[in-house]
Amino acid sequence: MPLFHRTAAPPNPPPATRGSTNIPAHTLQDFHPAESLWAIELAAGQQDFASSQEQLRAQLPQNSPQTRARYAQSIQAWFFPDGRLDVLPVLVHRAYLDRSLTTEFVRLAYLTAEPIVGGAVADMLFPLEPGTVVPHDYLDGYLRRIVGQATRKTAKRLRQNLRKLGFLSPGRGRMVLQVVPASGTAVFLAFAFMFAPEGARSMELKTITDHPFWKHLGLKTEDGLRGVFREANGKGLLGKYVVADRIEQVTTRMSFQECLEKRVRL
C-alpha cells in the first residue's frame, strides 16, 4: 500500500539519516546538468585532467569567463574531486558511448557528491508515491534538521536541483514527484562498481539495499532492484541469485571492469 495518496500532501517527514548540523548549507550550488554531461563526455576523450579542465573552461557556452570558471569549479568538485579522470561516469561513457546511460551516472555521481540533495532523494522523496504533491515545508523541515537552518536561497536551490534532476515536476508551480527512468544496465553497473570491483563475491540483499545508489538512480521499490538481479541472473551475469530460508543472497560473477569490457546490457 502506498504511504501517501497521489494528490495528498505527505504527513510529517521521516527522520533524516545524515545527522544534524554537520553539512554546511553554503556547499549547495546550482546543478548544471547539460554542462556536467558535456564535461564527462569531454573528459572521456582526454588522458590528462588539467587539459580536460582547461578545455572545459574555454568551451563552456557561457559568455563570462568568471561564470565558466565557476561552473568548471563546481563540476570538478562533483565529479573529479581528486583530479583524476577514471571516475565512474567517465569509465561508463568510454565503454558505452551512450548519452542516456551516461546521464544516469552523472545523476548518481552528483547525488553522491552533494549529500544535501542525495539525502533529500533517498530519505524524503523515495518513500513518496509518484504523483504526490510535495509542499515546500516538507523539504524545508528536512533542511532544518540536517543543516540547522532552511535559508530561502538554500531551499530554492534544493528544489531547483531536484527539478533539474527530474525528481520533481519542472516549472514554478506546485512540486509533484515524478518517476526518474532507471535502466537495468545502469543499476547493474553501479552495483558491480560498488560491490564487485574485484570479481566474485556473495552478499545478502540487505547489504545492497542499505546503500542509496539504487534510489539515486530512480528505482522506487526493492522489488524493482530484485527484478534487475533476476534479469541479470537469467542472462548469466551473476554467479547466482537465490532466496533460501528467508535470506536473499546475490553472488557476483564478473568484476566491474569485466562488465565494462563485455558492455553488459539489461
Residue 153, domain member (yes or no): no
- Can you tell me the mean pLDDT for 16-33? 60
Residue 140, domain member (yes or no): no
> Which structural domain, as residue segments, surrounds residue 58?
33-112
- Boundary (domain end) residue, out of 86, 112, 138: 112
Measured CA to CA, the distance from residue 89 to residue 59 in angstroms comes to 20
- pLDDT band for position 27 (50/70/90)? low
pLDDT digits (tens, 9 = 90+) for 107-158: 999 999 999 999 999 999 999 999 999 988 899 889 988 887 667 888 899 9
Q: What is the mean pLDDT of the chain?
A: 86
pLDDT at res. 120 = 96
Quickly tell me which residue has 570479481 as its cell.
Answer: 199
Residue 200, domain member (yes or no): yes
Residue 82, domain member (yes or no): yes
pLDDT at res. 4 = 31
pTM of the model: 0.86
Percentage of the chain surpassing pLDDT 70? 88
Contact 219, 122 (CB under 8 A): no
- Boundary (domain end) residue, out of 66, 96, 112: 112
pLDDT at res. 104 = 97
Contact 156, 71 (CB under 8 A): no
Residue 121, domain member (yes or no): no
- pLDDT band for position 8 (50/70/90)? very low
pLDDT digits (tens, 9 = 90+) for 144-177: 888 876 678 888 999 999 999 999 998 667 899 9
Residue 96, domain member (yes or no): yes
- Boundary (domain end) residue, out of 70, 85, 112: 112
Computed on alpha carbons and rounded to an integer, the radius of gyration of the chain in Å comes to 19
Q: How many domains is the chain partitioned into structurally?
A: 2
List of residues 6+ apart from 118 with CB closer than 8 A:
111, 112, 212, 216
Measured CA to CA, the distance from residue 29 to residue 266 in angstroms comes to 34
pLDDT digits (tens, 9 = 90+) for 172-210: 678 999 999 999 999 999 999 999 888 788 999 999 999
Residue 243, domain member (yes or no): yes
Residue 154, domain member (yes or no): no
